[in-house]
Homo-oligomer: A and B are copies of this chain.
Amino acid sequence: MAKFAKRIDYMQATADVVRYLFESMTDPETISFGGGAPAREALPVEIVHEIADEVLTREKRGVQALQYGNPIGIPDLRQAVIDRLLTPMGLKAGLENVIIVAGGIESMNLVSQLYLEPGDVVLVESPTFVHTVQIFKMFEARCIACETDDHGLVIEDVEAKIRQYSPKMIYVIPTFQNPSGRTMSLERRKALAELGSQYDIVILEDDPYCEMRYSGDRLPPVKYFDETGNTVFVNSFSKIFSPGSRLGYAFADEEIVRKIYDAKTATNSHTNVLTQILCAEFFNRGLFEPHLKMICDIHRERRNVMMDCIQSMLPEGVKYVYPDGGLFTWVELPGQVDTTAMLGDAVAQKVAYMPGREFFVEGQPVRDNCMRVSFGGVMPEKIPVGMERLAKVIRSKLYRTRS
């Protein structure tokens, strides 16, 4: 059988864990804090049904929905992105600055197509999003982690690593970060944009959780402070509309958008038109804002229940992040508990989480005693049940570690 390309070997290791988690999520008895899915109760099934029923006729948008589309996306969805998402963040965009893609992951894939050569260095947060690291590995880039604290990337460490590694790109999830749930401060957002401009580095800003804020004040994105076009802002509709629709967008300087257009054409021609129409109508009928409020109410409750459980159920010495939004908290266990080794026991007890090890790369210490705990996809009454199971598994490990 013909040999696979090197990039396929590089990306192998993590993919197995991702597949394992996908599989554990299919057992209905398992309470999974492992995935990154939002609440199924927050999915706009009735809204999509009503819009689909209305637009899927030959007189309305049925033919457009089923025929080939333009690689850049349909104009009304791009305009909705500008009016309803970018403008409220203080970002100034024209239609030529926005391209629709098939989800947040695809936006990262396309920006990597644009910039990354084998051996290029990408600076990332520590911890960082495992799926994006997989993409960078597929492009044979070297990921170097920078130090983070409760206010996000430590800018001094980023600058030191810029000097040491001459990176091509810096990848950041500034708001309710995946996996840590942390949010980068205003000052650091500004400083990061300035570093991108000063050293001519691409800042890939991935902000899929920014609309899902349950407490605290909204912050402008890194892109807001970009004066040279070095920051590429990408986002997903997965959390505010629907993950299964695979919709996202990139906002960047026109020249960059034109190159993304070329890479998109050679990746899959264009994004599914029907769901672009459904999503555009969702915005343009004024349904987004009330739906977002409902989403935030649902997830705020889950966040609150989860944080209560963590405080009351997990053994003493456990550290955690209190997230102001998004879907995740980040739990650091005491002692030398290896959360990767523990996952099998947890799945046997019908509870799952994402082991921390997967989120660490070269440049910062791997912390095997951490885990990403997602509260988004679990009903509030099930969170205590799952956390009780998880606490039991953790206690048994702590006991064994200490004895």
Residues of A near any B CB (own CB < 8 A): 1-8, 11-12, 15, 18-19, 22, 35-37, 40, 43-46, 48-49, 52-53, 56-58, 62-71, 101-103, 105-106, 109, 113-117, 131, 134-135, 138, 168-169, 200-202, 228-230, 238, 242-246, 253, 255-256, 259, 261-263, 265-275
**Interface pairs A-B: 7 shortest CB-CB:** A45-B62, A244-B273, A106-B268, A66-B242, A49-B56, A43-B66, A68-B243
Residue of B nearest to A63 (CB): B40
Set of chain B residues within 8 Å of A22, measured between Cβ atoms: 70-71
Q: Which residues of B contact A238 (CB under 8 A)?
A: 68
Q: Are A1 and B246 in contact (CB under 8 A)?
A: no
Residue of B nearest to A49 (CB): B56
B45 A57 Cβ-Cβ under 8 A:
yes
Q: Are B45 and A56 neighbours in the complex by a CB distance under 8 Å? A: yes
CB pair B113–A7 under 8 Å, yes or no, is yes
CB pair A37–B246 under 8 Å, yes or no, is no
Bound state CA distance, A134 and B62, in angstroms?
Answer: 30
Name the distance in Å between A47's Cβ and chain B's nearest Cβ: 10
Closest residue of B by beta carbon distance from A23: B70
11 contacts between A and B (CB under 8 A): A2-B168, A2-B230, A5-B117, A43-B62, A43-B66, A67-B242, A69-B244, A102-B272, A131-B266, A246-B268, A246-B271
B44 x A66 contact (CB < 8 A): yes
* B274 and A134 form a contact (CB under 8 A): no
Instruction: Please pick, from B8, B102, B242, the residue contacting A259 in the complex, using a CB distance under 8 A.
Output: B8
Question: A18's closest neighbor in chain B, by CB?
Answer: B265
A45 to chain B, nearest CB (A): 4
Name A255's closest neighbour in chain B (CB-CB). Answer: B1
Shortest Cβ distance from residue A299 to the other chain B in the assembled complex, whole angstroms: 15
Q: How far is the CB of A233 from chain B (nearest CB, A)?
A: 15
Residue in B52, B201, B228, B267 whose beta carbon sits within 8 Å of that of A106 in the complex: B267
Assembled-state Cα–Cα distance A62/B47 (Å): 11
A52 and B56 contact, CB distance less than 8 A:
yes
A246/B259 in contact, CB under 8 A: no
Cα–Cα, bound, A79→B228 (Å): 50
* Contact B269–A103 (Cβ < 8 Å): yes
Q: Are B56 and A48 in contact (CB under 8 A)?
A: yes
Residues on B with C-beta less than 8 A from A63 are 40, 43, 45
Select A1's contact among B64, B131, B253, beta carbons within 8 Å. B253
Determine if B48 and A66 form an interchain contact, defined as CB atoms under 8 angstroms apart: yes
A8: B residues at CB distance < 8 A: 113-114, 259, 262-263
Contact B131 A2 (CB under 8 A): no
Report the bound CA distance from A377 to B115 in whole Å. Answer: 36
CB <8 Å contact, A58 and B45: yes
Known: A259-B8, A272-B275. A45 touches B70 (CB 8 A): no
How far does the alpha carbon of A138 sit from the alpha carbon of B266 in the complex, in Å? Answer: 8
User: Which residue of B1, B4, B46, B66 is within 8 Å of A229 (Cβ)?
Assistant: B1
Q: In the bound complex, how far is the Cα of B63 from the Cα of A200, in angstroms?
A: 44
Closest-CB distance, A28 to chain B (whole angstroms): 13
Using known A-B contacts A11-B262, A117-B6, A131-B269, determine if residue A67 contacts B40 with beta carbons closer than 8 Å: yes
Q: A228 is contacted by which of B1, B19, B58 (Cβ under 8 Å)?
A: B1
A1–B66 touching, CB < 8 Å: no
Known: A11-B262, A49-B62; 16 extra A-B contacts, CB below 8 A, are A1-B228, A2-B169, A4-B115, A22-B71, A45-B63, A49-B57, A52-B52, A52-B53, A101-B268, A102-B272, A105-B265, A105-B269, A109-B266, A131-B266, A246-B272, A267-B267
- Chain B residues near A11: list those with CB within 8 A: 262-263, 266
Cβ contact within 8 Å between B230 and A1: yes
**Which of B7, B45, B117 is within 8 Å of A66, CB to CB?**
B45
| Minimal beta-carbon separation of A4 from chain B (angstroms) | 6
